[in-house]
Amino acid sequence: MTTLGHFRTPLLQTPFHPRTAAANVLSRWGPWGGYMAALCFGDVDMEYTAIRNAASVYDLCPMVKYRIAGRDAAAYLNRLTLRNAATLPVGAVHYTAWCDDDGKLLDDCTLFRNGPDDFLICCQERHLPWLLDSAEGFDVQVAEVTQDIAALSLQGPCSASVLAAAGFDVEALKPFRMARFAFAAGEVTISRTGFTGDLGYELWIDPALALPLWDRLMTAGAPWGIRPIGSDALNLARIEAGFIITNLDFVPAHQALREDRPRSPLEMGLGWMIDWDKGHFTGRQALLAEKQAGSAWALVGLDIPGNVSAEGSILYHDKRTEAGFVTAAAWSPALKASIALAQVKARNLPGGNLWVEIYALRELQYVKLMLPVTVVERPFFNPPRRRATPAGRV
């Protein structure tokens, strides 16, 4: 008889847990994809500072991963996702997304091509039923491999130097490319990808080698002040980079309960990734119709006066009519500005005259602020070192 005990540990621990638990002096954990994820190891400002000025390590294991393999893998992904997977070179990565039949987003992901017929999807939410449904009619195998791969994100201007010190020469690695290195009894795959908008890498490894890899990076990175970071610091960095997160900036169509919640890639600023010429993909007709008729929403970056974060605030046109809402906001230490990502009704976008109503908590008392906002380009923060090849050494 099988003993069912899974409910006793509703949150799983990642392969790095012995190290992250030891470092998490505040025991600040949050759930992420069924795992315990550190929100903050002790000082969010120091963690953010490590991302922008030194080197940071973030436990990526809860990221949901699917392996797509088989003769039709590229054709399958072309039908599933918005960009052209067939033209993605082996050893390369791209950021893409996928939709339902109505052209509404289900998730975005990074897509890794490990071989001609071998891909890896890394995304925020779980999608096995949809991925399997999409596989009907294709010679392809779809498997969730979240637990089979341990992943660490190493981000920051010193990350290339740390890797070099750890014995991995990634100097020539271009953004969105990956390379394999021997490590211990196995190997580690390092991709020049990340979620901070900075120079950075992601390391993919057999879970059995997770702890030795962590130790190697921490030892090698000590001279550069490497430190583990939690989701709070990462969130700050990703807002500066203008990146969106599924279920924070939009609701996946399959999870939305309210009919007006799903958003299309055109509405979420992802229109650039749609390859209209690659052939059919799920949602193409709906998106084509939307492109012709115009979208109802737009995702924008906002610059807000003052220093109060506008998280959760409502946007108004001319201070009167509701025109949208903020999905992510922060005081940006890098920019010394209050910035936000917001969904705005497309019809309110051209004329400007947009305002944000912020409830600012000042010593137990909320104060209502009505501030004019400026729509600005994303990313808010985009340092040249992010793309420089060879990567900068410090």
Residues that bind other proteins (CB under 8 A): 75, 79-80, 100-101, 130, 133-134, 136-138, 279-280, 282-285
Q: How far is 228 from 208, CA to CA, in rounded Å?
A: 20
Cβ 314 vs Cβ 325: under 8 Å: yes
What is the smallest separation between the CB atom of 164 and other proteins, expressed in angstroms?
44
Query: Which is closer to other proteins, CB of 134 or CB of 146?
Result: 134
Q: Calculate the dihedral angle through the C-alpha atoms of 96, 99, 105, 109, rounding to the nearest 10 degrees.
A: -30
Query: Which is closer to other proteins, CB of 133 or CB of 377?
Result: 133
What is the smallest separation between the CB atom of 287 and other proteins, expressed in angstroms?
11
What is the smallest separation between the CB atom of 133 and other proteins, expressed in angstroms?
4
Query: Which is closer to other proteins, CB of 80 or CB of 93?
Result: 80
Checking DSSP bridges between strand 28-32 and strand 35-40, what pairing results, if any?
A: antiparallel
Cβ 9 vs Cβ 31: under 8 Å: no
Q: How far is 306 from 373, CA to CA, in rounded Å?
A: 11
Contacts of residue 120, Cβ cutoff 8 Å, sequence gap at least 6: 65, 66, 67, 68, 111, 112, 114, 145, 149
Report which residue type is found at 206.
Answer: D
Query: Which is closer to other proteins, CB of 124 or CB of 282?
Result: 282
The dihedral sign for the CA sequence 39, 43, 45, 47: negative
What is the smallest separation between the CB atom of 136 and other proteins, expressed in angstroms?
6
Query: Which is closer to other proteins, CB of 75 or CB of 273?
Result: 75
What is the smallest separation between the CB atom of 101 and other proteins, expressed in angstroms?
4
What is the smallest separation between the CB atom of 135 and other proteins, expressed in angstroms?
9
Backbone angles phi, psi at 223, to 5 degrees: -60, -25
Q: How far is 141 from 134, CA to CA, in rounded Å?
A: 11
Contacts of residue 95, Cβ cutoff 8 Å, sequence gap at least 6: 108, 109, 110, 111, 273
Contacts of residue 216, Cβ cutoff 8 Å, sequence gap at least 6: 166, 167, 183
Query: Which is closer to other proteins, CB of 58 or CB of 98?
Result: 98
Query: Which is closer to other proteins, CB of 101 or CB of 148?
Result: 101
Strand, helix or coil for residue 242: coil
- Strands (DSSP E) contained in the chain are 28-32, 35-40, 56-59, 64-69, 93-99, 105-115, 118-123, 141-144, 150-155, 178-183, 186-191, 200-205, 227-228, 297-304, 314-317, 321-332, 337-345, 354-362, 365-372, 374-376
What is the smallest separation between the CB atom of 334 and other proteins, expressed in angstroms?
41
Query: Which is closer to other proteins, CB of 68 or CB of 341?
Result: 68
What is the smallest separation between the CB atom of 262 and other proteins, expressed in angstroms?
13
What is the smallest separation between the CB atom of 102 and other proteins, expressed in angstroms?
8
Query: Which is closer to other proteins, CB of 136 or CB of 363?
Result: 136
